[in-house]
Every structure is written in C-alpha cells, then in structure tokens.
Chain A
C-alpha cells in the first residue's frame, strides 16, 4: 500500500541557512500535517493543510512556512536555521481510519 513519502531522509545545514522538506501524502488523503520532534521529546504539531488551504497552526516559528501544492504534496520551508531546529520532522496524512506518518526527515543544524 502507498505510504507517506518524505524527502530527504537526512539533511545537514549550517546555522542561518535555509532548508526545504518535502512530503507526498497518501493519494486521496485530504489533510496533511507537519510535526517536529526534538531529541527525547514527543512530536509537536506545527501546521496542517486541508484541500491545499492552511487549516490549523501550532507552535511554528515565524521563520518556518509551509504550503500544499495542486498535486497535494507539501513543503516545509525553514529559514535562518538555528541549532535548536535540529530535530526529526514528520509529515502525516489522514483519512477515515487514522493518521499515517512518513519516515521523517532528520535535520541537523551545525
């Protein structure tokens, strides 16, 4: 069965650089979510999109932005990276029957 696809799997950036993470949801799932998981923490909700419109927003820094495109894939853009942005970033999509998470992007800021 198709899953949620995230790319890249790993990313190393320097402070103050910009990073773009991509997510391809399961076909016909109408909502996409982004989560951030710091070391030893639980995943924290960042932002979600329903039918390409932003539907909810969590504790997402102003340096981060996201959008969902016409083909339903989503991108999370992070600028002016800080050491504290180092984390696992998950994308998930949902339909009736629950949420499915991608394998995540591990971002390391050095």
Chain B
C-alpha cells in the first residue's frame, strides 16, 4: 500500500513563531488531507489538497503531486495550535479507496 512519511515527528515553538510541516508519499494520490487532532481527540479537517495551494487564515498548504509531497505552513503560532497534525492520503490505485495516515507531527506551542 501507499506509504506516508511526516516530518518532523515533534516540534516545539514559542508563541508567534512560524513552522513548516512536511508530508512525503510514495505513490500518486486522488486525495490528500491535513488534519489537526486536538487534545480531546477530535480530528479536525484543515485542508483537502490533492494538488495546488490553499490558505485559511494563518494556515496554508501546498501539494506538489508530481514530486509526491505536501507542506503545511503555520504562521504566528498560538498555544491553541498545539496538538498532532496528520497528513492522510488516498492512493490512486484501483484498490486504494481509503485514507492512509502518516505518523503525525506533535506540535507544542509554548506561551
């Protein structure tokens, strides 16, 4: 099946700093999503971004499908941004109609 690698595994920031999270995947994809898992365990969808660039407030994401990677940018980080960020992909092969998750990046934003 498709492989998803996220980096870094852990990231500690001071409030106000910017960060970039990376997701590499091993095959072509139909779907790529970024999620934020909050301390209560909820998976919050941030972006549906199989290709191109999107922005939502302080967050933006870029997927370069031909090079099989995606980046999530967080600017002016806040303590509420803390949590685990997951990249998940749906491969474009015939039997890949499900999301496969990376191991996640644990982000801690200190005041």
Where the two chains meet, the residues of A that have a C-beta atom closer than 8 Å to any C-beta of B are 31, 33, 37, 42-45, 48, 50, 55-56, 58, 88, 90, 92, 97-101, 103-104, 106
Contacts and interface: CB of A to CB of B under 8 A. Distances in A.
B103 interface: yes
Given A56-B95, A98-B33, A99-B33, A104 B100 contact: no
Interface in B63-99: 86, 88, 90, 95, 97-99
B98 A56 contact: yes
Counting chain A CB atoms within 10 Å of each CB, the highest count among B42, B88, B99 belongs to: B99
Contacts of A44: 101
Contacts of B97: 31, 48, 50, 55-56
24 contacts: A33-B98, A33-B99, A37-B41, A42-B101, A42-B103, A43-B43, A43-B88, A43-B101, A45-B99, A45-B100, A48-B97, A48-B98, A50-B97, A88-B41, A98-B31, A98-B45, A98-B48, A99-B31, A99-B33, A99-B88, A99-B90, A101-B35, A103-B41, A104-B41
A45 B33 contact: no
Contacts of B100: 45
Contacts, number: 49
Given A42-B104, A98-B48, A106-B41, A92 B99 contact: yes
Counting chain A CB atoms within 10 Å of each CB, the highest count among B35, B95, B98, B102 belongs to: B98
**Which range holds the interface residue count of chain B?**
20 to 34
Contacts of A101: 35, 43, 45
Given A43-B86, A99-B33, 14 more contacts: A31-B97, A42-B103, A43-B43, A45-B99, A50-B97, A56-B95, A88-B41, A97-B48, A98-B31, A99-B31, A99-B90, A99-B99, A103-B42, A106-B41
B98 A100 contact: no
Q: What does DSSP make chain B's interface, helix, strand, loop or mixed?
A: strand
